[in-house]
Amino acid sequence: MIDKVHLHEQEHGKNDSLYGVSQNTIRALEVALEDEEEKKVKKLLQPLHAADVAVVIEYLAPHLRHNLIEILRFRFDPDILTHLNETVREEVVEQIGTREIAEAIIGLESNEAVALIEDLEEDQQKEILDSIPIGERVILEEVLTYPEDSAARLMQREIICVPSFWTVAETLKYLTEEKELPDKFYDLFIVDPKHTPIGEVSLSSLLRELPTTKILDIMRVDIKRIPVLMDQEEVALLFRKYGLVSAPVVDEGGRIVGMITVDDVVDVIEEEAEEDIMLLSRVTESDFYEPLLSTSYSRIRWLMISLVNTLLAVTVISQFQSTIEKMVALAVLMPINAAMSGNAGMQVVTVAVRAIATRELGGANMNRAIWKEILVGLINGIVFGGVMGAIAAFWFADPALGIVLGGALIFNMIWAAFWGITFPILINKMGMDPALSAGPLLTTTTDLVGFATFLGLAWYFLV
Amino acid sequence: MIDKVHLHEQEHGKNDSLYGVSQNTIRALEVALEDEEEKKVKKLLQPLHAADVAVVIEYLAPHLRHNLIEILRFRFDPDILTHLNETVREEVVEQIGTREIAEAIIGLESNEAVALIEDLEEDQQKEILDSIPIGERVILEEVLTYPEDSAARLMQREIICVPSFWTVAETLKYLTEEKELPDKFYDLFIVDPKHTPIGEVSLSSLLRELPTTKILDIMRVDIKRIPVLMDQEEVALLFRKYGLVSAPVVDEGGRIVGMITVDDVVDVIEEEAEEDIMLLSRVTESDFYEPLLSTSYSRIRWLMISLVNTLLAVTVISQFQSTIEKMVALAVLMPINAAMSGNAGMQVVTVAVRAIATRELGGANMNRAIWKEILVGLINGIVFGGVMGAIAAFWFADPALGIVLGGALIFNMIWAAFWGITFPILINKMGMDPALSAGPLLTTTTDLVGFATFLGLAWYFLV
């Protein structure tokens, strides 16, 4: 073991070694794979953590990746699969074959096996489950009946429960002698005879107590019980808010059925934030490793929203062709109103979407938040309406044109602010994800109203 | 303790109680605060977790918040401060007074005290430090000399180190008898005589070993040592990638100086993702609780970028006034090119910014990623150029106009794709945060080039 560490540190630069895989290693691997030198490849991979092997697999060009998988295919380490990005993982499963993957998966803990299987395509899922022995399969299939993104999918079945009348010494003895313990655990759960969790004792506090102390006297009772059906986003919020390390999962009857640990929640937090980022910019997640054509297809689907949006906007503009013909300055100035209020509105949408996601916005503070945004919109409207109006007035030596642009901007900034916060709230109330549709709705309305107010006011007052 | 739980569950609905504070409680509190019924307020708050009291404080209208702080000001629980949003926290510190806050802070662990102090304004920081006894102050001031967002700021000083020649029994005895242990810990660090960490043993595995086993034989040696100066984003990536629960922090000489635990990393992950979300939409973080005028000010600062961007775009359009005058259809169609390619480019920017943040993009796969984006841009350009060109051609019964719009769109989609991925890479290479400036740079270039190519081609071929 010690030798391995040394080898490891010799091969990589200082900071590089923290990530376990250096550019040099990758380059050496690429050469070895190109030449199909199986022994050299295995030697280079041997000191690497499964997470780093996954990085290498993702990093390689498709034909080298294929060669590498061929070399690794016998006794394939399932931990590598858990670290792979979805797109690449499907490719690897395809290449290795579902029967072999199924054999590898049996070695994983239940929640890791579920995490692997749930992301695969349905036919792959079915094939793998069919190759798993009945005992394991039943557990996996039961978990898979729970909705995706529910607490049930995150939890592991392996937990430690003790009765409250035990002493510290009895508990320690149980922990030493029991063979079927989870790989890692941080809290013991105290249950009543009906298997309802009534308290928690952390390992670190257990060790500091006297052997004769009763568990009842040292357990924390203000514990958070997670319903199996709770959404994973809610689970992550609970862990973050209360600084939890592990928490019991309970079924509808309140009985303990598993536990969720913080390391699984870390991934959820990242996933959920990532989802919001991607949706706000209208891209599909895990886009980076997708092949060319499916990337292009998913981008085009999202851009259809912009297409409709843009076509609506130009339809509005086309109503004012004769006005523009008489005063071409309008064509020059008309993008200002839509662009400025669109950007201002997207600021509001982003703040509102995140505030809803983190439960800061909702309920009693809603009216106050809406009014605040309207006032911010008014102030910003006055500032930018004033600046842009003045610029337009001087540029085209036409004060009336400046007043029309400024007035339109003030109105549309307030409009953008109001809908920027109201759309997310309404969409959330309808039970949908505001990150998905609040942005497109907002830009459509600010574009339409932006062009319509500016050109409409110009038609009425100027032409 | 048991009584507290019952009280708690009586007061709230089932799901509500998970978050510890229901709408009913808040409403009851608002009434009690309005009437300044101190006893009733205290009774309502008594069963709540510090994190929930923080929620209540953030939730309340300013005058009620003021009343509540007045009631809580004596023996103020510093845990509440750690859960408060930055804006509200400064307000609370202001109201309570730095001397009283300093007294409360002494009770916290070093990393929590640092987290509190570092976010405050500089004069508040200084005042609080001055009120802390010299012993504690020196530790805090030393940590504060390390850069913000460094591992040093995240770590706690309280750690457990044991030599490798100890047995399991000796180690357990030490843990039981030693008084100065950290509140919570999950791993023991094994150090050599120079205090260099050489291995780790998790608490859960320690308990399962025989008393006579040597620590040397059970410790994991492939541990991740975190340099004090490592950026917190890197720390979070390490924890996530390798599924760490705690990790030793080492100084430049490789000696252990503290540890970072996963619950602190959870907040970092959320923070860093949040930062990217906010920057991509050009809003300042923690915007939600900021007072009206400073929100408006920070939004205006970001919108100045849009202002410059928009003014540049209209300057380009103004060069083509006579062209537009001759053919007003151009005014109608010109937003299409800029809008479509701007949106397509922002998709690329978002994917690239996140891929850089999670270390998926960089180094060897860069050229491949750039080429992929260019090809996606080409495909999308052909699709949308074709659709939009056809629409324009039929609408204005002018095939040449359709060809000009389609050609301009194809060119600008490729342009947007290329810069959408190249800007983030370049900005990252210059050591700056791509989330901050890649978006504005991209929209500016797609706007300018979008209007210029469409109107320029029209001027050359059509008018």
For chain B, give the mean pLDDT. 87
User: Under DSSP, is residue A162 helix (H, G, I), strand (E, B) or coil?
Assistant: strand
A348 to chain B: nearest residue by CA? B283
pLDDT tens digits, one per residue of A350-394: 889 888 887 778 766 788 889 999 999 999 999 999 999 999 999
* Token pair of A7 as six digits: 């080898």
Determine which helix (DSSP H) or strand (DSSP E) holds A161, and give its type and residue range: strand A161-163
Q: What is the pLDDT of residues A404-415, one digit of tens each?
A: 999 999 999 999
Residue B391 sits at the chain A interface (C-beta within 8 Å): yes
Question: B355 in a domain, yes or no?
Answer: yes
pLDDT recorded at residue B5 = 36
Q: What distance in Å separates the CA atoms of residue B349 and residue B352, rounded to the nearest whole number?
A: 5
Averaged pLDDT, A70-80:
85
Residue B372: its pLDDT value, please? 92
Cα dihedral B424, B426, B431, B436, rounded to 10, equals -30
A65 occurs within a structural domain: yes
Reply yes or no on whether the pLDDT at A223 is more than 80.
Answer: yes
Q: Are residues B120 and B233 in the same domain?
A: no
Closest residue of B to A287, CA-based?
Answer: B351
pLDDT beyond 90 at B229:
yes
Residues B265-290 have a mean pLDDT of 80
d(CA A405, CA A394): 12
Residue B389: pLDDT band with limits 50, 70, 90: very high
C-alpha–C-alpha distance, residues A84 and A61, integer Å: 15
* Mean pLDDT to the nearest integer, A279-307: 82
Whether this model's ipTM surpasses 0.85 comes out as no
Q: Which residues of A touch B1 (CB under 8 A)?
A: 221-222
What DSSP assignment string belongs to B263-278?
Answer: HHHHHHHHHHHHHHHH
Distance from CA of B334 to the nearest CA of A (A): 9
Same domain, B309 and B259: no
Q: Does A212 touch chain B (CB under 8 A)?
A: no
Nearest to B328 among A27, A58, A324 (CB): A324
Say what the pLDDT of residue B225 is. Answer: 93
| Domain end position, chosen among A102, A133, A154 | A154
**Which residues of chain B make contact with A240, given a CB cutoff of 8 A?**
266-267, 270
Lowest mean pLDDT among A246-255, B114-123, B302-311, B373-382: B114-123
Query: Is 70 exceeded by the pLDDT of residue A6?
Result: no
Q: What is the torsional sign of CA A226, A222, B244, A265?
A: positive
What does the pLDDT average to over A50-55? 88
Neighbouring CB atoms inside 10 A of A50's CB total: 17
B246: helix, strand or coil: strand
Average pLDDT of the residues in B385-405:
95
Predicted local confidence at residue A5, as pLDDT:
36
Please determine, for residue B6, whether its predicted confidence score (pLDDT) is greater than 50: no
Could you tell me which of B2, B48, B3 has the C-alpha nearest to residue B25?
B48
Mark whether B310 and B175 lie in a shared domain. no
Based on the domain organization, do B191 and B326 belong to the same domain? no
Domain boundary among B107, B134, B154: B154
Of B394 and B87, which is predicted with more confidence?
A: B394
Dihedral sign computed on CA atoms, order B154, B160, B164, B167: negative
Nearest CA-CA partner of B380 in B351, B418, B354, B350: B418
B29-40 per-position pLDDT tens digit:
999 999 888 899
Q: Tokens standing for B383? A: 């699709």
A197-202 and A226-227 as β-strands: parallel, antiparallel, unpaired? unpaired
Q: Is A366 on the interface with B (CB under 8 A)?
A: no
For residue A274, the tally of other CB atoms under 10 A from its CB is: 18
Q: Read out DSSP for B77-125?
A: -HHHHHHS-HHHHHHHHHHH-HHHHHHHHTTS-HHHHHHHHHTS-HHHH
Amino acid A380: pLDDT:
95
Q: How far apart, in whole angstroms, are the C-alpha atoms of residue B105 and residue B112?
A: 9
Chain centroid offset of residue A440 CA? 20
Asked if A400 is an interface residue toward chain B (Cβ–Cβ < 8 A), one would say: no
B441: in domain: yes
For residue A236, give the nearest of B261, B355, B18, B116 by alpha carbon.
Answer: B18
**pLDDT on residue B13:** 36
Same domain, A143 and A185: no
The residues near A208 (Cβ < 8 Å, ≥ 6 apart) are B175, B176, B181
Assign residue A345 the CATH number of its domain. 1.10.357.20
- Flag whether A285 is in a domain: no
Q: What is the mean pLDDT of residues B204-218?
A: 89
Looking at residue A14, its pLDDT comes to 39
The DSSP H or E segment spanning A268 is: helix A262-280
Return the number of other C-beta atoms located less than 10 Å from residue B262's C-beta: 23
Per residue in A63-95, is it b (16+ CB within 10 Å) or e — as a string? ebbebbbebbeeebebbbbbbbbebbbebbbee
Q: Is the dihedral of CA A295, A298, A300, A305 positive or negative?
A: negative
Give the β-pairing of A246-250 and A226-227: parallel
Whether residue B286 is predicted with pLDDT greater than 70 in this model: the reply is: no
Q: State which amino acid sits at residue A151.
A: A
B133 and B113 in a common domain:
yes
Residue B253: its pLDDT value, please?
A: 92
If asked whether residues A68 and A134 sit together in one domain, one would say yes
Give the nearest chain B residue to A19 (CA atoms): B238
Tell which of A120, A154, A188 closes a domain: A154
Is residue B273 in a domain? no
Q: Which residues contact B362 (CB under 8 A, 6 or more apart)?
A: B356, B425, B428
Domain count along chain A: 3
- List, for residues B142-196, the tens digit of each pLDDT value: 888 899 889 999 998 888 999 999 999 999 889 888 877 787 889 999 999 999 9
Task: Return phi, psi of residue A56, to 5°.
Answer: -60, -45
What is the overall mean pLDDT for chain A? 87
pLDDT number for residue B14: 39
Rounded to whole angstroms, the Cα distance separating B405 from B389 reads 5
Where is average pLDDT lowest: A111-120, A216-225, B194-203, B416-425?
A111-120
In whole angstroms, what is the distance from residue B41 CA to residue B33 CA? 7
State the virtual CA torsion across A67, A68, A74, A79 in degrees, nearest 10.
Answer: -150
Pair A280, A78: CB distance under 8 Å: no
Query: Which tokens is B423 given?
Result: 């800007």
d(CA A292, CA A297): 9
Instruction: Pick from A282-291, B1-10, B241-250, B428-437 the range whose average pLDDT is largest.
Output: B241-250
Between CA B24 and CA B29 the distance in angstroms is 8
pLDDT at site B255: 95
The pLDDT value given to residue A18: 56
Kindly give the interhelix angle for B329-357 and B399-429, rounded to the nearest 10 degrees: 30
**Does residue A192 sit at the B interface (CB-CB below 8 Å)?**
no
**Judgement on whether residues B228 and B107 belong to the same structural domain of the protein:** no
Is the minimum CB–CB distance between A245 and chain B shorter than 8 Å?
yes
Q: Which one-letter amino acid corresponds to residue B93?
A: V
Q: Which residues of chain A neighbour B329 with C-beta distances below 8 Å?
A: 321
How many CB atoms are closer than 10 A to CB B220?
13
Which residue type sits at A178? E
Residue A218 lies in a domain: yes
Q: Tell me: the pLDDT tens digits for A228-271? A: 999 998 899 899 888 888 999 999 999 999 999 998 888 888 88
User: How many whole angstroms separate alpha carbon B35 and alpha carbon B440?
Assistant: 50
Is B376 within 8 Å of chain A by CB? yes
B residues 166-185 near A, CB within 8 Å?
172, 175-176, 181-185
Could you say which of B265, B292, B310 has the minimum Cβ distance to residue A339?
A: B310
Task: Indicate the residue type of B29.
Answer: L
Is B266 close to A240, i.e. CB distance below 8 A? yes
Of the two residues A305 and A121, the one the predictor is more confident about is A305
CATH number of residue A227's parent domain:
3.10.580.10
Residue B190's DSSP bridge partners are B162, B199
> Please, which residues have CB within 8 angstroms of residue A358's CB and are 6 or more apart in sequence?
A237
With respect to residue A38, please indicate whether it lies within any of the assigned structural domains.
Answer: yes
pTM: 0.80
The mean pLDDT of A54-83, rounded to a whole number, is: 87
Residues facing A156 on adjacent strands: A259
Are A308 and A431 within one domain? yes
Q: How many residue contacts between A and B have a Cβ separation below 8 Å?
A: 330
Give the distance from residue A5's alpha carbon to the nearest chain B alpha carbon, in angstroms. 7
Asked whether residue A212 falls in the same domain as residue A240, the answer is yes
- The span from the CA of A30 to the CA of A73, in Å, is 18
CATH number at residue B62: 1.25.60.10
Is B140's pLDDT higher than 60? yes
DSSP β-bridge partners for residue B259 = B156, B248
Q: Contacts of residue B325 in chain A, CB cutoff 8 Å?
A: 325, 328
Amino acid letter, residue A442: L
Residue B383 binned pLDDT confidence (cut-offs 50, 70, 90):
very high
Select from B18, B208, B238 the Cβ nearest to the Cβ of A18.
B238
pLDDT in the model for residue B8:
35
Q: Which of residues 83-102 of A touch B (CB under 8 A)?
A: 83, 85
Rounded Cα–Cα distance for residues B212 and B215 (Å): 9
User: pLDDT confidence of B287, banded at 50, 70, 90?
Assistant: low
In this predicted structure, the answer to whether residue B265 has a pLDDT above a threshold of 70 is yes
CB pair distance less than 8 Å for B339 and A391: no
Do A149 and A168 lie in one domain? The reply is no
C-alpha dihedral sign at A190, A192, A195, A197:
negative
| Structural tokens at position A279 | 């949706």
Q: In which region does residue B342 sit, left (phi positive, over 0), alpha (psi from -120 to 50) or beta (all else)?
A: alpha
A124 and A235, same domain (yes or no): no
Residues of B in contact with A269 (CB under 8 A): 266, 269-270, 273
Burial, B115: exposed, middle or buried (Cβ in 10 Å; 0-12, 13-18, 19+)?
middle
B379 touching A (Cβ < 8 Å)? yes
Please check whether residue A284 lies inside any domain of the structure.
Answer: no
Q: How far is CA B340 from CA A305, A306, B335, in A?
A: 10, 6, 8
Distance CA A178, CA A198 (A): 22
pLDDT at A270: 83
Q: Would the CB atoms of B340 and A303 count as touching at under 8 Å?
A: yes
Domain region containing A169:
161-278
Summarize chain B as % helix, strand, coil (round to 5).
70, 5, 25
Is A277–B324 a contact, with Cβ atoms under 8 angstroms apart?
no
CB under 8 Å to A300, separation ≥6 — which residues?
B379, B380, B383, B384
Q: Are A401 and A390 in contact (CB under 8 A)?
A: no
